[in-house]
Structure 1
Amino acid sequence: MTQTPAPPTPVHWKVVIDAGDPHAQADFWAAALRYEVEDNSALIDRLLGLGALPEQATVEFHGRRAFRDLIAVRHPEDPVDPESGTGLGRRLLFQRVPEAKTGKNRLHLDLHPGEGRREEEAARLEALGARVLRRVREQGGEWLVMADPEGNEFCVQ
């Protein structure tokens, strides 16, 4: 009897977003998506203790150590690696880059707050620091194009 081969394991992924201030972006997107900012302080302390990470590569963020140049937000119900604090599911990682955003995003997030909640959600996001760029009404539907505090476009359906 031949065995059916196991299906290939799906590829784990995260969306990486360049940022001038990754920590401010993490705060915005954690609030916008109702996600959690990852706590990598145990990993950072271990790396510092081993001499594998210089102190200047860290900052204090929300009362704990964080990497200076990157930080992620994760879905609160997804699993977390207990050793590193890294989410093992839906994540956005913000990495510091020296240059400012200069053009249109080639990739963006579409937020779906639920039927009839677009305007309410847009107001909540504006209170967090987003802004409405334009309102779109096409034969296929309606949505808002918004920008986060660093100008990255996203849509609210």
Structure 2
Amino acid sequence: MTSRFEQLVVDCLDPRGLAAFWCAVLDYTVHEDRGGDLVEIGPAEIAPLDELRRTAVAPQIVLRRGHTAKVRKNRLHLDICPIDSDQPTEVERVLALGARRIDIGAPEGASWTVLADPEGNEFCVLRSLAPGHFEE
């Protein structure tokens, strides 16, 4: 028996604001907005159930209103990979959307860049998957 990773739930102070940020970063769309208290985002096309059963698909993100700000390092974070540009270009694009650089002790010369979303949640921009940047 097997399970599929379908959703990541993030508690935050501003679900709509964080949804807008992650939609821009990941090219996701809003699937459901419950009055701004819970916003579900994901790929524009929702995979049919039979596809979800057969293969891994991009997970949805549920942004749920919490009542406290983030205060310490995440125990879980996202890693993203650019698919149509190089890593430095993607880092600059995401910074322009509202992310910021942070230092959480990555080793010198790390192949990833550590950023934080507008509410301080850490995530990494990894190598590019764009043609010519990553070879199989």
TM-score strictly above 0.5: yes
Percent identity of equivalent pairs:
39
Q: What is the alpha-carbon root mean square deviation over aligned residues?
A: 2.7
Contact 2:32 2:41 in 1 (8 A): no
Q: How does 1:6-155 map to 2 (within 5 A)?
A: 8=1, 10-11=3-4, 13-39=6-32, 66-79=34-47, 90-114=59-83, 117-134=86-103, 136=106, 141-155=110-124
Contact 1:17 1:95 in 2 (8 A): yes
Contact 2:5 2:59 in 1 (8 A): no
TM-score of the superposition, structure 1-length normalised?
Answer: 0.65
Structure 1 residue runs of 5 or longer lacking an equivalent are 1-7, 41-65, 82-87
- SS at 1:67 equivalent: coil
Query: Could you give the per-residue CA deviations for residues 50-83 of structure 1, whole angstroms, max 9, x where no partner exists?
Result: xxxxxxxxxxxxxxxx4331001101233379xx
Structure 2 residue runs of 5 or longer lacking an equivalent are 50-56, 127-136
- SS at 1:95 equivalent: strand
Contact 2:38 2:63 in 1 (8 A): yes
The count of aligned residue pairs is: 118
- SS at 2:10 equivalent: strand
Query: Could you give the per-residue CA deviations for residues 92-148 of structure 1, whole angstroms, max 9, x where no partner exists?
Result: 000001101000000000011149711100111011100111494557x51100000
TM-score of the superposition, structure 2-length normalised?
Answer: 0.74
State which structure, 1 or 2, has the greater radius of gyration over its C-alpha atoms: 1
- SS at 2:17 equivalent: helix
d(CA) in 2 for partners of 1:137, 1:118:
17
Letter of the structure 2 residue corresponding to residue 76 of structure 1:
A
Detail structure 1 runs of 4+ shifted over 3 Å in the superposition.
Answer: 134-139
Contact 1:137 1:143 in 2 (8 A): no
Structure 1 residues 70 and 11: alpha-carbon distance in aligned structure 2, compared to 1, 3 A threshold:
same
Aligned-residue offset at 1:11: 4.4
Larger proportion of strand: 1
